[in-house]
Amino acid sequence: MGKNRELWLAFFAILFITGVYALVLLQTRQVPAASGLFGHSIGILGFVLMLMTETLYSLRKRSRLARWGRMADWLRFHIFTGIVGPYMVLLHTSWKFNGLAGATTVLTVIIVFSGFIGRYIYTRIPRTLDGVEMAGPSGQLQAAALASARRALAIWHAIHIPLGMALFTAAFIHIGAALYYATLLR
């Protein structure tokens, strides 16, 4: 597993979640409804993981007071929850992509794809075990290549972060509407 541990863990978590989903599918003989107990549960848990993806890594990265754990470990956690949470939310959709929920799902897919691009760019910049940038292994990395990777990462951030904000805005509106229409109007 080693270097890509978070990707392997996400893969195995997705296999497990898919197995549970398949069991529910076999037992009920229908795709689990988004509004049913299983659909709601998987959607809520997936959204909580996505919130953790968005908030915990960012807090650790930006807070001068929060110095718990290595940044590299927090990035691995960010990647794991950023893959598994959206997958669970995708299963929550019951494969129906209408209205705001459909737009939120499209934004989710775009942000996950963008995350993979960001991970690739991030790996082009050499770092210490704690995730701090360094000039390169034994100073051999050309300055132009490092500057190029930093520029690409800055551009990626300028796209990825607003997309994430749009995603969570749409998700909170979806959740509010679902609570209002499915719960409060009954």
SS3 of the chain: CHHHHHHHHHHHHHHHHHHHHHHHHHHHCCCCCCCCHHHHHHHHHHHHHHHHHHHHHHHHHHCCCCCCCCHHHHHHHHHHHHHHHHHHHHHHCCCCCCHHHHHHHHHHHHHHHHHHHHHHHHHCCCECCCCCECCCHHHCCCHHHHHHHHHHHHHHHHHHHHHHHHHHHHHHHHHHHHHHHHHHCC
pLDDT computed for residue 96 by the predictor = 84
Q: What is the pTM of this model?
A: 0.79
pLDDT computed for residue 63 by the predictor = 72
Q: How far apart are CA 148 and CA 169, in angstroms?
A: 32
Q: Is the dihedral of CA 14, 61, 121, 5 positive or negative?
A: negative
Predicted confidence pLDDT, tens digits, the chain (186 residues): 667 888 899 999 999 999 999 999 999 999 988 878 898 899 999 999 999 888 887 777 777 676 777 777 888 888 899 999 999 999 998 888 888 888 888 888 999 898 888 888 877 776 655 555 665 555 554 777 777 878 888 898 899 889 989 989 988 998 888 888 877 766
